[in-house]
Structure 1
Amino acid sequence: MQAKIIIKRKFVAGKRKEIIALLRELRSGALNRPGYVSGETLTSAADPHTMVVISTWQDMESWYKWKENSTRETLEKMLETYQKESTSYEEFTLGAFIPD
């Protein structure tokens, strides 16, 4: 089942060039991963230091393999040096399912 991952980051001011370069590296790495479908990066209109990435994967397993990839983990640690707080992740699957 298709997976949508919402990744939220709040960055410090003054490091836009470095942040964008790392985000591009992450996207480039994801593009080459099995199961990657698409991604988009959004900047908050209310707070330009808050960014959200919406990443779409063929299934949750493909996402988990990329999330746990050592190259991705290294890039994520580099990004965290420019963040006000830790990255937050929300993971969703496509479709309406309400458990009993």
Structure 2
Amino acid sequence: MVRVIIKRRCRPGREADLEKALLGLRTDAMRRRGYISGETLRSADDPGVWLVVSTWTSPEMWEAWEGSPERRETESIIASLLAEPQEVSIFSFVRRGEASESAHTVDIESLRLSR
């Protein structure tokens, strides 16, 4: 499973257009194989900064969506609404035993088994 975080800085006055485009993008993503969840966040300190966080079953599922024609079309619209290029970061989940004991990821299956 991977979590994709996309940071965007909206051009002033284009927030409603960005929100509409992001909603369309999410609607399309929800129909894609491998999509698990998503949310859109706006910075409390800087309302021009938007984050989209989505979860996918695998990096391959995300890459298939990222390269799809429908996503590329919407991304070109979104790019025109931004003050600077977006930043995309992809994170994988840390499973118990894959990192030091200080890892902050909870293994839900282990919790179920220990009860």
TM-score (norm 1): 0.92
Unaligned stretches of 5+ residues in structure 1 = none
Displaced runs of 4 or more, over 6 A = none
Q: Which residue of 2 aligns with 1:16?
A: 15
Higher relative contact order (CA 8 A, sep 6+): 1
Structure 1 residue 28: deviation in Å?
0.3
Q: RMSD value over aligned CA atoms? A: 1.0
Aligned-partner residue type, residue 29 of structure 1: D
- Structure with the greater alpha carbon radius of gyration: 2
Q: Which residue of 2 aligns with 1:31?
A: 30
Segment of structure 1 superposing worse, 89-98 or 48-57: 89-98
What is the SS of the residue equivalent to 2:40?
Answer: strand
Unaligned stretches of 5+ residues in structure 2 = 100-115
TM-score (norm 2): 0.81
Aligned-partner residue type, residue 69 of structure 1: S
Q: Indicate the percent of aligned positions where both proteins have the same amino acid.
A: 33
Counterparts of 1:73 and 1:86, CA distance in 2: 14
Equivalent residue runs for 1:71-82 within 5 Å: 71-82=70-81
Counterparts of 2:37 and 2:27, CA distance in 1: 11
Q: 2:68 matched to 1:86?
A: no
